[in-house]
Amino acid sequence: MTRLYDEERLGVLLRILRPAPVGWVRAAQELPAARRTFDEIVARAEADLAFRTALIADLEQALAAEGYEPDRRLLHEIRERLSDS
């Protein structure tokens, strides 16, 4: 079926796909780096009992002490991973 587009309809459709907030897009684009950080922390927690114990005691402080600055979502994932294992 051929769709017909007048100027008004085109305007309506163009307005639908508005830009997502810049910070959201940037966070999504930085996912690969965040995943690498996650994998690194999990691997260390599995190999280093003292680090793992510190993470369980106070996750944010233990990560900050090691120079990590994970965002809220990453913290949540790490917490979940630690509680699973």
Partner 1 sequence: MSQAGRTDAELVRRCRGNDADAWNELVERYSRYVYAIAVRGFRLSEEDAEDVFQDVFTRVYTRLDSLRDDTALRPWIAQLTRRRCLDALSARRDVPADEELTKEGSSDLSDVEEAFEVREALAGLSEACQDILDRFFTRDQSYKTIADELEIPSGTIASRIARCLGRLRGELEGRNQDDEGSRD
Note the residues at the interface with partner 1 (CB under 8 A): 2-3, 5-7, 10-21, 24-25, 27-29, 31-32, 35, 73
Q: How far is the CB of 58 from partner 1 (least distance, A)?
A: 25
Alpha-carbon distances, residue 46 vs 6, 36, 85 (angstroms): 61, 15, 9
Q: How far is the CB of 14 from partner 1 (least distance, A)?
A: 4
Q: How far is the CB of 10 from partner 1 (least distance, A)?
A: 5
* Closest among 39, 62, 38, 40 to 50, alpha carbons compared: 62
